Structure 1
Amino acid sequence: MQIGLISLGVVLILILVCFNWWQDRRVRQRMQEHFPEADEDPLMGSLPPVVGRREPGMGASVDAAAEENTEADPVCEAVIDVVFSHPVPGAELQKAVRSIQKAGEKPVRVLVEHESGHTLYLREGSTYLSVQLAVLLANRSGALTDIEWSHLWTIAEDLAERFEGSVEGPEQAQVLSRAKELDAYCASLDAQVGLALRLGGAKPIAEVMQAVKEAGFLTYGNQLAWMSEAGVPRFTLLFDGVAAADFQQAGVDRLDLLLDVPRSQADEHAFSRMACVGRDLAARLSATLVDDQGQLVTENADHAIDEKLHELYQKLDQAGFPAADERTVRLFS
């Protein structure tokens, strides 16, 4: 009798596991039917990988990627030139510039001049007569400020003093005017769309994490993201407003889905794709899906929001800032 009951219990467990697997597979198939992945996005074409800041590096051998010319961006950057009175060895220059990364909240790129232009790469055994300090004019912290520009100018003067050089650059008023104009223009193209899952009280982080991974989220840097086939996040997931890698609590009572339009791959179904994943997660966790105003999310509005976001992706592309492009990511950071 006991053996029979045990056998029956095992059979029931197997049936339950198979049912859950089938249900999960059915949800994924339905999402794939509604939102097929294109081999190449009609707006974007093939995207280069998104990379972070590259510091000037050195090495005995020079590969093609490192050797290629990198010029300052005349639209997004302001440049200060430091011209040396005598050639400076690459090893000495690298030590002097490797700590130059930011002026306040604005990233700075250090470009060294070689025979055919500028590059981020310092050749071992070579000497250099000048460098450029290229600072981003605007990002989500706002337009470049007079304090940030003065900070960069001081860095340039220190370099010039160290290597007996001179400093050349545009007038501060001109730079700040360009920065404000770019900042205002980018603000008109910026958008982030959020959804929240209310879990109805704190749930163990292990349980939530399992559901999130089963729903298809992958690790991307310090975040969890729903990835496109191009390897670019479509949207990311936060735990009580905190990135996954930074979340330290034992329980979580809210999940946030965030679609960062300029930093995500262009998608005709951007919102409805995120909402569909949100509904799937809500079902897995017995949660309630709401918008950033706290209102229940219904499928009726998905298409209209998709169209609005698609228009914004097109505007970004027309402005020369394709969504998820390296240049765009720098501006909208």
Structure 2
Amino acid sequence: MTEFHYISLGIGVGLVAAVWLFNVWQEHRYKKKAAAAFARNHPDVLLETPKNHVRPAQSANRMEPSIVDTAAPTAQDAPPVAPELVEDFDSAATLDLDAVQALAAVMLDPQLDYIAEVGADQPIAGGLIPAFNVGKRIKVVGLNENDVWEIAAVGNRYLELRIGLQLCDRQGAVSEGQLILFTEQVSEFAASCKAVATFPNRQDKLDVARGLDQFCAQVDAIIGLNVGAGRGRIPVSQVATLCESAGMQLLDDGNFHALSESGKTLFSVASIDEVPFSRASFGQDQCSGLTLLLDVPRVADGLAAFDRMADLAQQLALTLGGDVVDDNGRSLKPADLAAIRKQLGVVYTQMDDRGIAAGSVAALRLFA
């Protein structure tokens, strides 16, 4: 080779090295920004965000005339969520072996979660599993020393762990920054236990998360029927009598709830003034109207629940001398209620076709 060839080769090698170093620097800077964005000490948004905090209006499927739809915080604003462990395993231990394994099996789903697998030569204590602060719900299941998969519990030891980061919820799809932070934190945890962590392909899971979020935005809705007061303000004691006679219960959130046989909320009745009902002040309190709410994707057999809610709304309106109206005060006639029910049926068909039935474990997780 001539001197010119050596010079050209040197320049080429130098350029490649410069590009590689630039990319490393950029990735390091991005990770630092992502860590600053997500590693904040906040409460669990998935436990404390009201259920009507759904996606922005431009992406949600609004069923006129009565869907409640409010903007949610962005993924960058979402606080960290610690992994869900069973702090007191005594209650779970009362389940039989099949029930324990079945419960662990539904906790993680490759279609809903980015699942890291952590394997070690020596058992890993459940109490060593740290909080992974990435702003999305995390669940951990472990293979115990009896070769049984269970929800990871403090006080137990595991030969293998599966740590799942949920890909999507009502705050939107997981971001690349969150996945990077998750893999870093799990890798650090695995290294501290002298274990090995493996992960799915990040880009593939990001594509799954975005597609899942688009689908969820299409079917995410809360149906609301309002009952206006026809004779001034409504005594809360009368509301309580009517709701309780319809089999509803006043729960800790200050609203009356119609519950399924398994204790899940079918729909609720709240004060239109957004003031919680209190049994201690039933005799003195009044409200200007009522709002009946059905969280569409979280309710199994939602058509039956809607029929029951619509019947109760009309009964309340008749008894209180008011009217069933939409959010703009427009009276809802039987034909309007029938149109809402028809649209509701379309949503449930879409969910069934996707394999995410309303009220199922998957739906409850996605629409939390």
2:126 corresponds to 1:94: yes
Q: Does the CA-based 8 Å contact 1:270-1:306 persist in structure 2?
A: no
2:139 to 106, 109, 131: 109
Displaced runs of 4 or more, over 6 A: 245-249
Where 2:219 maps in the other structure, the secondary structure is coil
2:226 to 190, 196, 218: 196
2:242 to 199, 206, 211: 211
- Counterparts of 1:61 and 1:192, CA distance in 2: 37
2:195 corresponds to 1:165: yes
Aligned residue in 1 for 2:179: 149
1:322 to 357, 360, 364: 357
Q: Displacement of 1:292 after TM fit?
A: 3.2
1:227 to 244, 259, 280: 259
- Counterparts of 1:143 and 1:175, CA distance in 2: 10
2:329 corresponds to 1:298: no
Please report the RMSD computed on the Cα atoms of aligned residues, expressed in angstroms.
3.4
Aligned residue in 1 for 2:35: none
Q: Does the CA-based 8 Å contact 2:225-2:326 persist in structure 1?
A: yes
Q: Does the CA-based 8 Å contact 1:145-1:176 persist in structure 2?
A: yes
Q: Does the CA-based 8 Å contact 1:268-1:307 persist in structure 2?
A: no
2:97 corresponds to 1:66: no
Q: Does the CA-based 8 Å contact 1:76-1:138 persist in structure 2?
A: yes
Where 1:321 maps in the other structure, the secondary structure is coil
Aligned residue in 1 for 2:291: 256
2:360 corresponds to 1:286: no
CA 1:299 to 1:255, structure 2 compared with 1: closer, same or farther past 3 Å? same
CA 1:139 to 1:242, structure 2 compared with 1: closer, same or farther past 3 Å? farther
Q: How many residues align?
A: 274
Q: Displacement of 1:289 after TM fit?
A: 1.7
Q: Does the CA-based 8 Å contact 2:234-2:288 persist in structure 1?
A: yes
Q: Displacement of 1:329 after TM fit?
A: 1.0
Q: Deviations over 1:264-304 (max 9, x none)?
A: 12244454432221111123333332123431011123333
Aligned residue in 1 for 2:111: 75
More off after superposition, 227-236 vs 191-200: 227-236
Structure 2: gaps of 5 or more residues? 1-82
- Counterparts of 2:188 and 2:237, CA distance in 1: 51
Q: Displacement of 1:118 after TM fit?
A: 3.2
Aligned residue in 2 for 1:19: none
Q: One-letter code of the match for 1:264?
A: V
CA 1:123 to 1:191, structure 2 compared with 1: closer, same or farther past 3 Å? closer
Q: One-letter code of the match for 1:143?
A: A
Where 1:170 maps in the other structure, the secondary structure is coil
TM-score (normalizing by structure 1) = 0.69
TM-score (normalizing by structure 2) = 0.63
Where 2:223 maps in the other structure, the secondary structure is strand
Aligned residue in 1 for 2:268: 236
CA 1:231 to 1:317, structure 2 compared with 1: closer, same or farther past 3 Å? farther
- Counterparts of 2:275 and 2:259, CA distance in 1: 16
Aligned residue in 1 for 2:214: 184
Where 1:296 maps in the other structure, the secondary structure is coil
- Counterparts of 2:114 and 2:160, CA distance in 1: 16
CA 1:69 to 1:256, structure 2 compared with 1: closer, same or farther past 3 Å? closer
Q: One-letter code of the match for 1:240?
A: I
Where 2:111 maps in the other structure, the secondary structure is coil
Percent identity between the two aligned chains: 24
Q: Does the CA-based 8 Å contact 2:273-2:287 persist in structure 1?
A: no
Q: Displacement of 1:315 after TM fit?
A: 2.5
Q: Deviations over 1:38-57 (max 9, x none)?
A: xxxxxxxxxxxxxxx96335
- Counterparts of 1:240 and 1:160, CA distance in 2: 51
Q: One-letter code of the match for 2:256?
A: L
Q: Does the CA-based 8 Å contact 2:89-2:153 persist in structure 1?
A: yes
Q: Deviations over 1:76-135 (max 9, x none)?
A: 1111223335322xxxx32233756x741x3211011246563215496x6423311112
CA 1:108 to 1:298, structure 2 compared with 1: closer, same or farther past 3 Å? same
Q: Does the CA-based 8 Å contact 1:110-1:132 persist in structure 2?
A: yes
